Amino acid sequence: MARIVLIEDSPTDRAVFTQWLERAGHEVLVAENAEDGLKLVRENAPQLVLMDVVLPGMSGFQATRALNRDEATRGIPVIIVSTKNMETDKAWGIRQGASDYMVKPPREDELLARINELVAVA
């Protein structure tokens, strides 16, 4: 299926999302912070990025903006998956270049459906 970079600092969320994605046939590359995640994206050209917002150091919003501004990574869809549930957070994430914004905890079927839609388009 698709190569996906997961940028998530929570060990529990990393394990759950990785399990879901791998069970669905995706290859998952994992980073615990935005800086390492950006490096993985640039080195591996994934078909999609799953991005947390609250991360150590650079936030997911900042990392999404960096990916969107970089010619080499601009076309890679980013789904923000965050506990931040305010409409302003969602709007800000989309404004930074995210293709979608989901609130934690997402349902497995909904997350996989959104990933499959974006990967098919990319």
Between the two ends of the chain, the Cα-to-Cα distance in Å is 13
Q: What is the pLDDT of residue 120?
A: 86
3 token code pair = 């190569």
Does residue 33 lie in a domain region?
yes
Number of structural domains (the chain) is: 1
According to DSSP, residue 71 is labeled T
Beta bridge partners of 27: 3
CATH number at residue 10: 3.40.50.2300
**Residue 16 structural domain:** 3-100
Looking at residue 101, what is its pLDDT?
98
Tell me which residue has tokens 């290859």: 27
Spacing of C-alpha 48 from chain mean position: 7
Single out the residue of 52, 53, 57, 56 nearest to residue 8, CA to CA.
52
If phi > 0 it is left, if psi is from -120 to 50 it is alpha, else beta; for residue 76 that is beta
One digit per residue, pLDDT tens: the chain, 122 residues? 899 999 999 999 999 999 999 999 999 999 999 999 999 999 999 999 999 999 999 999 999 999 999 999 999 999 999 999 999 999 999 999 999 999 999 999 999 999 999 998 65
pLDDT of residue 6: 98
